[in-house]
């Protein structure tokens, strides 16, 4: 059986750690690519990672490169390229620079791996995945943003910490844009099958949700010189696994919604069935009134972000 080929564009912390998770879980053979200015850096990281395989007991080929030809015919391409947030910088501050970067990457991926599924990780996420699909021209189902898995993981972590329970027993869902307008779904949150609203007050739950919304910024503030990468990379690897193993997992991703939820043609975080073809299905839930209002507010913010990006790209 042919191994999946997984290319990770961007060999920084998120990209290299994504390669690490994917290789250690033997999801396929990995190509780790960075810009020519990086010189031999991606080769060094790939070789270092390969040398850990006899110790950790995984068998995946890992190649570092600056040449897109080495990524040809990938099954999955993960785009982490772009500048990272610095303290005091919002995701929106990254908009213009990263839009240009991911546009260049999308052109290369379309030329070298036209049948791949693309997972976009670069921020600001909702706008970047929209831009990648626009440039590469792939069917919407084959261009997906990684956001919901990470956001939900942060939410689940904070709930487990608050309640003193295993994260394995926390089931939760967040929807909407990746950032300050993400939408908690108390109706879809439970601890060992017990609705979270029976265990926490509305006020305390909102405080936890707010921490989840600001989870990335909290880590940026603590690190001082970088941004989160372990959890974003782990979330990305989970999506890669769902695709290469055709697991049809129901997880939240930034997926293209037109008539779904009345979004009208934008990428936003929604629950999807993720499998070998990318987004197999967008799962539409009946939202409660407050959830519906919050989701609309989040979609409005995504639409505004995309409009700003389009203006910046048009004038550059």
pLDDT tens across 108-153, in order? 999 999 999 999 999 899 999 999 999 999 999 999 999 899 999 9
Strands 278-282 and 266-275: antiparallel
The predicted pLDDT at position 313 comes to 86
Strands 117-120 and 143-145: parallel
The predicted pLDDT at position 94 comes to 74
More reliable by pLDDT, 210 or 279: 279
Q: Where in the chain is the domain with CATH 3.90.110.10?
A: 148-306
Reported as a single tens digit per residue, the pLDDT across 48-92 is 999 999 999 999 999 999 999 999 999 999 999 998 766 666 656
**Annotated catalytic residue, options 45, 140, 154, 178:** 178
Q: Note every long-range contact of 86-92, with CB atoms under 8 Å and residues 24 or more positions apart, other chains counting.
A: 86/220, 86/225, 87/220, 87/221, 87/224, 89/220, 90/179, 90/217, 91/123, 91/124, 91/125, 91/178, 91/179, 91/216, 92/124, 92/305, 92/308
| Residue 275 tokens, joined | 């499998």
5-145 homologous superfamily: NAD(P)-binding Rossmann-like Domain (3.40.50.720)
Average per-residue pLDDT for the chain: 94
The predicted pLDDT at position 147 comes to 86
The structure's pTM equals: 0.95
The predicted pLDDT at position 225 comes to 84
257, 268 Cβ separation under 8 angstroms = yes
Reported as a single tens digit per residue, the pLDDT across 215-249 is 988 998 999 888 899 999 999 999 999 999 999 99
The predicted pLDDT at position 315 comes to 82
Reported as a single tens digit per residue, the pLDDT across 18-55 is 999 999 999 999 999 999 999 999 999 999 999 999 99
- pLDDT bucket at 105, cuts 50 / 70 / 90: very high
Q: Where in the chain is the domain with CATH 3.40.50.720?
A: 5-145
The predicted pLDDT at position 314 comes to 87
Q: What are phi and psi of 308, to 5 degrees?
A: -65, -45
20 catalytic? Reply is no
Give the integer Cα–Cα distance in Å for 247 and 61: 23
60, 23 Cβ separation under 8 angstroms = yes
| Residue 148 tokens, joined | 């919901």
- Give the angle 207-213-218 at the CA atoms, nearest 5°: 90
Q: What is the dihedral of CA 295, 296, 299, 301, to 10 degrees?
A: -110
Q: Quick one: average pLDDT of 195-213?
A: 93
Q: What are phi and psi of 108, to 5 degrees?
A: -70, -40
Q: Is 29 helix (H, G, I), strand (E, B) or coil?
A: strand
Is the model's pLDDT at 1 over the cut of 70? no
The predicted pLDDT at position 88 comes to 67
Q: Is 265 helix (H, G, I), strand (E, B) or coil?
A: coil
Cis geometry, peptide bond prior to residue 115 (ω within 30 degrees of 0)? no
Residues 6+ apart with CB under 8 A from 291: 175, 183, 185, 186, 187
Top-level class of domain 148-306: alpha beta
| Residue 145 tokens, joined | 């943003």
Is the model's pLDDT at 184 over the cut of 90? no
Which residue blocks in the chain are alpha helix, DSSP H? Answer: 13-24, 41-56, 95-112, 125-136, 148-163, 202-213, 215-223, 230-244, 289-315
Q: What are phi and psi of 173, to 5 degrees?
A: -145, 135
Reported as a single tens digit per residue, the pLDDT across 263-272 is 999 999 999 9
Give the integer Cα–Cα distance in Å for 254 and 291: 17
144, 249 Cβ separation under 8 angstroms = no
The predicted pLDDT at position 37 comes to 93
| Beta bridge partners of residue 254, listed in sequence order | 145, 269
The predicted pLDDT at position 85 comes to 63
């Amino acid at each position: 059986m042919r191994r999946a080929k997984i290319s990770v564009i961007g060999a920084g912390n998120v990209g290299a750690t994504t390669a690490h998770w994917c290789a250690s879980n033997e999801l396929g053979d990995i190509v780790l690519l960075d810009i020519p200015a990086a010189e031999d850096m991606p080769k060094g990281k790939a070789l270092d990672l390969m040398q850990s395989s006899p110790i950790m007991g995984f068998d995946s080929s890992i190649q570092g490169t600056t040449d897109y030809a080495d990524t040809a015919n990938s099954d999955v391409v993960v785009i982490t390229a772009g500048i990272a947030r610095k303290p005091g910088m919002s995701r929106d501050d990254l908009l213009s620079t990263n839009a240009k970067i991911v546009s260049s990457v999308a052109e290369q991926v379309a030329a070298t791996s036209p049948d791949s599924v693309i997972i976009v990780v670069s921020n600001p996420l909702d706008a970047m995945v929209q831009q990648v699909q626009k440039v590469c021209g792939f069917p919407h189902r084959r261009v997906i943003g990684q956001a919901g898995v990470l956001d939900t993981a942060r939410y689940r972590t904070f709930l487990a910490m608050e309640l003193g329970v295993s994260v394995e027993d926390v089931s939760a869902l967040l929807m909407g844009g990746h950032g300050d307008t993400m939408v908690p779904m108390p109706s879809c949150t439970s601890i060992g099958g017990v609705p979270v609203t029976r265990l926490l007050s509305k006020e305390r739950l909102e405080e936890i949700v707010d921490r989840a919304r600001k989870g990335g910024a909290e880590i940026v503030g603590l690190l001082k010189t970088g941004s989160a990468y372990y959890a974003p990379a782990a979330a990305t690897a989970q999506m890669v696994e769902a695709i290469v193993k055709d697991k049809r997992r129901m997880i939240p991703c930034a997926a293209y919604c037109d008539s779904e939820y009345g979004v009208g043609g934008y990428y936003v975080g929604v629950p999807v069935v993720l499998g070998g073809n990318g987004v197999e299905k967008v799962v539409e839930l009946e939202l409660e009134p407050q959830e519906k209002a919050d989701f609309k507010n989040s979609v409005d913010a995504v639409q505004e972000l995309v409009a700003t990006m389009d203006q910046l790209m048009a004038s550059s």
